[in-house]
A and B are shown apart, each in its own frame.
Chain A
């Protein structure tokens, strides 16, 4: 093993040279190393050092990611085969977890296959030992390290969402799931970057089917991801993020009247989450495809009714509606959300009192609001006090409650909205504009992908050909509406000699 070590550790150079390697040199070096390591047999990789140390203890995964990953994989497969040459499962688990949160995000781009295998092994191990929640955090951090922008959807994202839902470990997965997905794998026209070690690359360029960092996703899987990530945030009671995730599924592009059942399920949850967030039935996002919109209104009628009653109706009606349709909620696995909705009704009522009153006594609140959980008013002022205390504590209500001085307790609403201080505001504005400016980069990228689509190029070709032929016959009336400036010029050139 000792002789191997020198080969294994030959790249990247250690200690790092004063002048960082150029992308070109880096690319060549790492490719060479992958070749060398790839040629080594598994048994060799499993050997221990002369000092009796295990290779995994000697190599630093954050410096020498590639050999570490290969040795790790060798160990995993050894364990699978059952020969005892590898390490114990507990140690291996430690190593795998450690690797996922320590690998070098530049080197890892070259070994997509290996990374996928390790992630899968982590998920499978955790699953088989019924400790799925332990795998969520490491996988999430690996995905974050691989693509800090988080805009590219991979097959691992879906696995992560599933794992998080299964194990109910939402918090660890949330940072990854909360990123807005802009790209999905499979676009045929992505330019091959010269060096994938270029750290300025957009994730679309290096997370590709060819790099094996992801596999091809079907539309159903993408929808599943959106729905699951929405459900994860529902589990965390993070309504705003949940709404965004579900909205991704609801607005998923669909041709004509085709709609996926996943989209309908997402829409149902989307309505309820929207009510929990805003207290009303939200209008469908503009980008929803029209066929789907029609379908939603038919399939999710009971949900829309609930939302409307929540907005305009009384507590008793809301409760009655919720009670009559229990089998629907149960069949759709939305009972929990409905219960949340009922609990939220009175809170919304209390919050809207702030629009009318500055100070109000607790008994008055009791008489002016009704609980949708029971359909009646609260039994006594103490119950209301408790509810309001909870709301203030969780930040749902901006108000203060003063203890009784002879009379009943008094609730004082804070002046509308906690206005941000000027510097906060300034920061917020700068951040927002930065985010929007950075979007232009993504727009350019998308534009490139679209305009280099084979079909589109063919179409443009045909267009210009049409323009030429129609110009030649002197009939320019039928030239396409998409005729662009270049075409127009050509047109004139040909027409010139004719007249």
Chain B
């Protein structure tokens, strides 16, 4: 089914889609996709799909509206409901449920007030454990109504009353969850470190290490450090199951890890770290096409590898964390494939490259030029005979010329230093106009020429 879609569209095509609006039919099934997650990320993901997908948009928004009404977050409700008013006004979810909003608003306010006063009470009575739990409740409440900064604050306040390592882990987990939603990756990494600091290797919860790995992976992914992201995801222990569902599903681990690895690792590394990684295999089994793509790459069947990835492009464009990086990652994989394809040859016709990598009727010449300029591909194009030739490497000549250059630079630098010292020795350097205070004995004697010096400027 993957290859049935034919050759992948050229990467320039997808570039033109600004603002990310996916019109192709994605492979994912909305219901089962969203069932992988728990918590607020469900809403967030559905709204994102609603905003970005032409095919699934209405359904996603409808689901989101229903989901939102089960919760307490009015902002998210409006985010999901407002677009529906324009794109599908006839649906029953499109009507704004003002009474629900009013009711939720007042209960939210009451709940906030109640929890806050409770915390204050505990504090006054100096009951540490209760204060901590009160703050936790307050944080959860703020998180549920969508007031993330306040939620973050409340969870942070728990730290003062934390007594056991378990508490600290709890706090940091809450904070990571909120920070992921806020896209505050610095907070994510710092809390990951905090948990690592207190974690006991023996008796702690089996679910914690994978959670940390994926949190770290996400933050690396977000900052574009794909290799670091790949390594984090690949380290994820197999026991994650649904423990991190509020952030990420096991399927996502497979996809993120697989694609990042494909984009950054060499063939041997891929075999060793991905395909033969028993921990990661459990995840890969959830997304068999990623495994097939990597397999094709390792076996040098680049066209198949790229076409599999291409067929899932629209899915990944609808993924909340991956969507901004899909183009970059795909580009990396493509370039790498071209480089790998070219390695065994000294000379390849452009036509055969086109056949492998370009969409029908298109040519990859421009892309090759770009790659050569970025020094990714060490080759030269012959536009007359339409071939790509490799550059004969001449390490001896290169070394010799670099030696000569270094020697020349050294010689010049040394000469200039000697010149400077002698200029100083002859006392003809440029002095500052406002004279130095005369207290320094170093200059006292023998500098009779200085007085007449500063006139020539």
Contact = CB atoms under 8 A, between A and B. Distances in A.
Interface residues of A, number: 66
A17 interface: no
A449 B381 CA distance: 58
Nearest to A188: B446
A298 B168 CA distance: 53
Contacts of B427: 186-188
Interface string A237-253: 00000001001100111
B384 interface: yes
Contacts of B385: 359
B19 interface: no
Nearest to A352: B373
Contacts of B125: none
Nearest to B422: A183
Interface string A118-157: 0000000000000000000000000000000000000000
B168 to A, nearest CB: 46
Contact of B422 (A219, A425, A449): A449
Contacts of B449: 186
A266 to B, nearest CB: 13
Interface string A417-445: 10110000100110011011001001100
B429 A253 contact: yes
A355 B372 contact: yes
A255 B429 contact: yes
Contact of A420 (B400, B417, B446, B457): B400
B383 interface: yes
A428 B402 CA distance: 13
A320 interface: no
B430 interface: yes
B33 interface: no
A459 interface: yes
B410 interface: yes
B431 A258 contact: yes
B416 A247 contact: yes
Contacts of A259: 430
A258 B422 CA distance: 19
Contacts of B429: 219, 252-255
Contacts of A253: 420, 423-424, 429-430
Interface in A1-23: none
A455 B442 CA distance: 6
A251 B430 contact: no
Interface in B369-384: 369, 372-373, 380-384
Nearest to A435: B411
B186 interface: no
A302 to B, nearest CB: 23
A429 B401 CA distance: 10
Interface string A162-205: 00000000000000000011111111110000000000000000
Given A248-B416, A429-B404, A455-B447, A186 B381 contact: no
Contacts of B414: 436, 439, 443
A260 interface: yes
B392 interface: yes
Contacts of A189: 425
B194 interface: no
Contacts of A462: 441
Interface residues of B, number: 55
B397 A357 contact: no
Contact of B425 (A218, A219, A220, A450): A450
B70 interface: no
A453 interface: yes
Interface string A206-226: 000000000001111010000
Contacts of A355: 372-373, 380
B412 A244 contact: yes
A453 B407 contact: no
A112 B81 CA distance: 98
A180 B404 contact: no
A450 B421 contact: yes
Nearest to B436: A255
A261 interface: yes
A359 B383 contact: yes
Contact of B421 (A217, A254, A286, A446): A446
A324 interface: no
A429 B384 CA distance: 39
In this complex, the member of B384, B401, B421, B446 whose beta carbon has the largest number of chain A beta carbons within 10 angstroms is B384
Contacts of B198: none
Nearest to A402: B384
B415 interface: yes
Given A182-B418, A187-B422, 8 more contacts: A183-B426, A184-B426, A219-B429, A287-B420, A357-B383, A360-B383, A360-B384, A453-B425
Interface of B: 369, 372-373, 380-385, 389, 391-392, 394, 397, 400-401, 403-404, 407-408, 410-433, 441-447, 449, 453, 456-457
Interface of A: 180-189, 217-220, 222, 244, 247-248, 251-261, 285-287, 355-361, 364, 410, 413, 415-417, 419-420, 425, 428-429, 432-433, 435-436, 439, 442-443, 446, 449-450, 453-455, 458-459, 462
22 contacts: A183-B422, A183-B426, A188-B427, A188-B446, A219-B456, A220-B457, A254-B429, A256-B432, A258-B430, A356-B381, A357-B380, A417-B401, A419-B401, A428-B404, A429-B404, A432-B408, A436-B407, A439-B411, A449-B421, A454-B445, A455-B443, A455-B445
